Amino acid sequence: MKSLYSFLVLFKHTITALIILIVSGFSSIVKSQSQLPVIEASNEQAHIKDGKYVEVNWKLDPALKPDTYFINIPLKKSVVHFKTDKGSLTFRTQPGKNYDFIVVLNKKDSCHVRISSTQPPNPAHLISKNSFPQIIPFKLIGSRIYFDGLINGKSVTVQFDLGAGTSVINTKSVERLGLSFTSQTLINNTNGINQARTSLDNELKLAVLHWTGISLTEVRNMQDYEDIIIGNSFFKDKIIEIDYDKKQFIIHSQLLSTKGFKKQPVFYEQDRPKFNVKFSHNNKNYDFWFLFDTGRDGTMLLGEDFTSKKDYWEQLVPLTTINDKKIVRLDATISGVYFKDIVTNAADPNKPKGKTSLFGNQVLNHFNVILDNRKGILYIKPNSRTYEPYSDYQNYLKEISKMQKK
């Protein structure tokens, strides 16, 4: 009996110790989680304001742990406001840091959200060990920029397009380059919004620079002489310079002289820079953010992001209407250079097709450009192409006259 009694006492003490250990461990977990900021939400819609210019509608998702928002310009300090219908948080971010918090959705689901001041994951990796600056010569075809390059060791003509959010390959070049496709990507271009097949893990060489892990999505809206289009994602931790006078594309690791350049902020959509332009139409003045789209072989476009605001669509007085687009005449000023009587089209907000407002290279190549991706600053100054023609009202009248004679 005595041995049984001793055993029961020992068993009781052991169970008590285990309970204390479990409770202690549970308390540590609760304490660890409670150190994270917590706010509530009664629906999945949230809003993020990143710095002065970036605003994002955010959808809460408890399945993602964490659900990460990447700072628009991660190498620069920012102030980020995260707001739900029940609460808000503000973070003063530093480059390279993460900021975690929890949103309790409908009093039951925990959404683990992270504000990250780091570069988003990108499989494209620059492995060249050459020092900067590096110069890549380019040629102009129409108003667009082209490099000579190699994809997987085979020669290609590469268009550089600051308006490209995805690296793409001409469907007519696929067979010659022998690419294989193992994935798909949702892509929005002049052919609309479609799923397109994607080739993974390719190599790109431009001059002495060498990238691996390149994804290329097949498209059917490219010119016959174009093989590849790449954009700013290849250079988002660098400073790039486009010198149209010397036909040189220069990659810098640090900012050099900007004498003679005018400076203005940019922010990014899918690594694509947007800049602010003032313009006038029908005796009204406007102020809006446009894509700096070097891949657009035209003057500009008023997209649904503009025409859907206020009563802007109704304010636009068309010269004519083609395929639900208003053809309009306007004046714009960029870096002190006045562009008179630009003729462009405006997208109907009542029939949305995902069109974004932009300025194209028929206007933009009038300037030499330095884009500091590290700090989100654009430097531009007029170059020797200042008097190059662009699509204006006089050209429009000539085209109309030709059509009427037919």
pTM for the structure as a whole? 0.88
Does residue 8 belong to any structural domain of this protein? no
Considering the domain architecture, whether residues 367 and 238 belong to the same structural domain is answered as no
Does residue 6 belong to any structural domain of this protein? no
Q: What does the DSSP assignment read for 339-387?
A: EEEEEEEE--TTS------EEEHHHHTTEEEEEETTTTEEEEEE-TTTT
Considering the domain architecture, whether residues 171 and 309 belong to the same structural domain is answered as no
Q: Is-contact 168 223, C-beta < 8 A?
A: no
Considering the domain architecture, whether residues 49 and 66 belong to the same structural domain is answered as yes
Which residue range forms the structural domain that includes residue 52? 38-116
CATH code (residue 201): 2.40.70.10
Considering the domain architecture, whether residues 62 and 198 belong to the same structural domain is answered as no
| pLDDT score, position 186 | 83
Does residue 236 belong to any structural domain of this protein? yes
Closest by Cα among 121, 120, 122 to 70: 120
Does residue 79 belong to any structural domain of this protein? yes
Does residue 379 belong to any structural domain of this protein? yes
Query: How many CB atoms lie under 10 A from the CB of residue 200?
Result: 14
| pLDDT score, position 406 | 67
User: What would the pLDDT profile of 242-265 be if each residue is shown by its tens digit?
Assistant: 999 999 999 999 998 999 999 999
Residue 338 DSSP label: E
| pLDDT score, position 308 | 96
Task: Please tell me the total count of domains within the chain.
Answer: 3
Does residue 335 belong to any structural domain of this protein? yes
Considering the domain architecture, whether residues 174 and 193 belong to the same structural domain is answered as yes
Cα–Cα distance, 134 to 275 (Å, whole number): 26
Considering the domain architecture, whether residues 224 and 161 belong to the same structural domain is answered as yes
User: What would the pLDDT profile of 132-169 be if each residue is shown by its tens digit?
Assistant: 999 999 999 999 999 999 999 999 999 999 999 999 99
| pLDDT score, position 225 | 96
Considering the domain architecture, whether residues 260 and 398 belong to the same structural domain is answered as yes
CATH code (residue 372): 2.40.70
Low-confidence ranges of the chain (pLDDT < 70): 1-34, 190-191, 406
Does residue 283 belong to any structural domain of this protein? yes
| pLDDT score, position 193 | 74
Does residue 354 belong to any structural domain of this protein? yes
Considering the domain architecture, whether residues 236 and 316 belong to the same structural domain is answered as no
